[in-house]
Amino acid sequence: MRLAGIDLNLLVVLDALLTESSVTGAARRIGLSQSATSHALARLRQLLGDPVLVRTSQGMVPTARARALSQPVREILEEAEGVFRGPREFDPASSTAIFRLGLEDAAQVTVLPALVERIQERAPGVSLRVVRAQPDEMLRDFEAARIDVAVTPHVPFGVRELHSEQLISADWVSVVRRGHPDVGKRLSLKRFVELGHIVVVHPNLADRAIEDALARRSRSRRIVLTVPSPATIPFLVSRTDLVATLPSMLLDRGGAPRDLARYRPPIDLEPVAVFLLHHSRTHQSAAHQWLREQIRAVFEGLARR
């Protein structure tokens, strides 16, 4: 039997007939004429090789075969209705969803602890899978469902399938350890280039903005230490006489050392914008809309600090 040769509207009629045990009642239930419903019953009898409804002294009753079909038919119709009903409501308290996050190192340091805490409070059954966001691979990762959302300063331009929104704009801050012997109340450009610098060297976190700003003033800095992630920089600064220049949000997290002195960098640097990205495949999903709301709330908390 080929499904393409079957009128699936007959399932709707069958469900109504089994519910009402009456052609007249079934016709009224689904808005068909009695004649059309009788014709559909005849087609069902031919298709199933079964009378479906038989007359008794108590009226029409389903056959044993028809009663066995009642629950499977109802389930099929409910599934079909769900396809066209649109996204279901998401209940975080009972959900066991798994969300995949693409986060760069800085976001893992600043955002992830607060996000995990927030989600654990509201959705204890939800799980997170975090991978490092790779700008060159982002679209492929979204399309392959390796990530559901990404938090990154890198936005692929001209990709219609990706939705982006700015979460925060963070100023740059230069930091040294409190009580540094060579830095007073302000950090001059002369002192800035004389100090040893800690620099992040990572394909996704190139520190070109600072290099370019110094080059415009015919200056260069002395790089003493390079690291692959910004996560350790505040701790390294607090134990050395080195200086680092970072987005302010990296220093606003609860675990950052308190014995740091902050300065406005003596060069002009554009603020760092951080974006939330998601793909069209999850744009209408109630569960993923909820996840994006949690991420926004965490960044709103950072912005208020």
Using a pLDDT cut of 90, give the percent of the chain over it.
50
Tell me, yes or no, whether 286 and 245 share the same domain: no
Beta strand segments in 48-185, E = 53-56, 59-62, 98-103, 127-132, 149-152, 162-170, 172-177
β-strands 260-263, 172-177: how paired?
antiparallel
Q: Provide the CB-side half-sphere exposure for 170 (13 A, CA).
A: 26
Angle at 150 between CA 148 and CA 156, to 5 degrees: 110
For residue 246, is it within any domain?
yes
Q: Kindly state the average pLDDT of the residues 123-127.
A: 95
**262-296 confidence digits (pLDDT tens):** 999 999 998 988 999 999 989 988 999 999 999 99
What pTM was estimated for this model as a whole? Answer: 0.67
Find tokens 């912005």 and name the residue: 303
Distances (CA, A) of 261 to 176, 189, 239, 240: 5, 16, 13, 13
Range of the domain at 31: 3-85
Last residue in a domain, options 62, 85, 108: 85
For residue 93, is it within any domain?
no
With bands split at pLDDT 50, 70 and 90, how would you rate the model's confidence at 206?
Answer: very low
247/230 Cα distance (integer angstroms): 10
Distances (CA, A) of 123 to 112, 191, 278, 297: 15, 50, 21, 15
What is the reported pLDDT for 158? 67
What is the reported pLDDT for 119? 96
Domain of 25: which CATH number? 1.10.10.10
For residue 91, is it within any domain?
no
219/190 Cα distance (integer angstroms): 9
Number of domains in the chain: 3
- Integer-rounded Cα Rg, in Å, for the chain is 32
**220-238 confidence digits (pLDDT tens):** 999 999 998 888 889 999 9
Q: What do you get for the CA distance between the two ends of the chain, in Å?
A: 66
What is the reported pLDDT for 129? 95
What is the reported pLDDT for 305? 66
Using a pLDDT cut of 70, give the percent of the chain over it.
92
Tell me, yes or no, whether 210 and 152 share the same domain: no
With bands split at pLDDT 50, 70 and 90, how would you rate the model's confidence at 65?
Answer: very high
